[in-house]
Amino acid sequence: MQTLELLRERAPRLDRGAAANEAPRLEALWARHADDVRSAQRLRWRVFADEMGARLSPPAGTLPGLDADMFDPFCEHLLVRTVATDRQPAQVVGTYRVLTPAAARLVGGLYSETEFDLTRLRPLRGSMAELGRSCVDPQWRSGAVILLLWASLAEFMHRNGLRLMIGCASVPMRDGGHTAASLWQLLRRTHLAPIERQVRPRLALPVDELRGDLEVEAPPLIKGYLKCGAKVLGAPAWDPDFGTADLPMMLDLADLPPAYRRRFIGA
């Protein structure tokens, strides 16, 4: 697996009674060993299964407490973790996985294709990487972790000559889907991709049967994507296992605003 120069940043300390100069640092790196991948999968299980209540079905033989699927062995796994000290071992607090075009050919497609018909995106496959399984430890949901993840992803894309990021952004459905439907109605007016990049859900959220007039605000992660220039590719799919409505999204690095371009890839 590919590696990345460590990126470090000060972060708030979990032990508030400790001295400020002992605040843990964060580092971002690409998984190099199976243990690194398992650390990411363990965090994913805690967030998706324990916190969100998702019904996960790892392949037979997967160790308990790990979120795994058929795509994991083909992906690059990005980790943000605390830097180990004499007092505390390193702890993975954020993760993404990336499926490159070459890896997608090996595994037979993208994870997003299990939720959407991506036929219209076929001409873009050679420059398109899929992001997925993103999550952050509840105690570390700060801008520092997200910025480290995004800076590392942008550098990875730039280094590998890739310009399109695709993935699914999830919206909880605790209210039965009305918020997700209203968010879709909002974003289709403001951030919908052109027709040649639009996709169709395989199991569509029944937006026409749900309220679409609620005053809603995009979740922080989706809001961050939109600020970076991302577009929504179509109506949301319903993921019954995760209990979410999933919006297909794409970010073209050419659309990054200048401030984000300087911040993430120094261009």
Residue 182 has pLDDT above 50, yes or no: yes
CATH number (domain holding residue 209): 3.40.630.30
> 117-143 pLDDT, tens per residue?
999 999 999 999 999 999 999 999 878
Four-residue CA torsion sign, 103, 152, 150, 93: positive
Q: Is residue 2 part of a domain?
A: no
253: containing domain:
7-265
* Number of folded domains that form the chain: 1
Q: Is residue 66 part of a domain?
A: yes
DSSP 170: E
The answer to whether 81 touches 90, Cβ cutoff 8 Å, is: yes
> 168-178 pLDDT, tens per residue?
999 999 999 99
The predicted structure's pLDDT at residue 260: 86
> 15-47 pLDDT, tens per residue?
444 444 566 899 999 999 999 999 999 999 999
The predicted structure's pLDDT at residue 156: 96
Percentages of the chain per state (helix, strand, coil), in multiples of 5: 40, 25, 40
CA atoms of 172 and 110, how far apart (whole Å): 23
List of long-range contacts for 135-139, beta carbons under 8 Å, 24+ apart: 135/43, 135/44, 135/47, 135/48, 135/94, 135/95, 136/47, 136/80, 136/93, 136/94, 137/43, 137/46, 137/47, 137/91, 137/92, 137/93, 137/94, 138/47, 138/51, 139/14, 139/93
Angle, CA 141 vertex, CA 137 and CA 142 arms, to 5°: 145
- The pLDDT > 70 percentage for the chain reads 91
Residue 4 has pLDDT above 50, yes or no: no
Q: Is residue 167 part of a domain?
A: yes
pTM of the entire predicted model: 0.89
Phi-psi region of 202 (alpha: psi -120 to 50; beta: other; left: phi over 0): alpha
Q: Is residue 1 part of a domain?
A: no
Q: Is residue 77 part of a domain?
A: yes
Residue 96 has pLDDT above 70, yes or no: yes
The answer to whether 30 touches 79, Cβ cutoff 8 Å, is: yes
Choice among 90-94, 162-166, 255-259 with the minimum mean pLDDT: 255-259
pLDDT band at 185 (very low <50, low <70, confident <90, very high): very high
The predicted structure's pLDDT at residue 23: 66
Q: Is residue 161 part of a domain?
A: yes
- Identity at 152, one-letter amino acid code: S
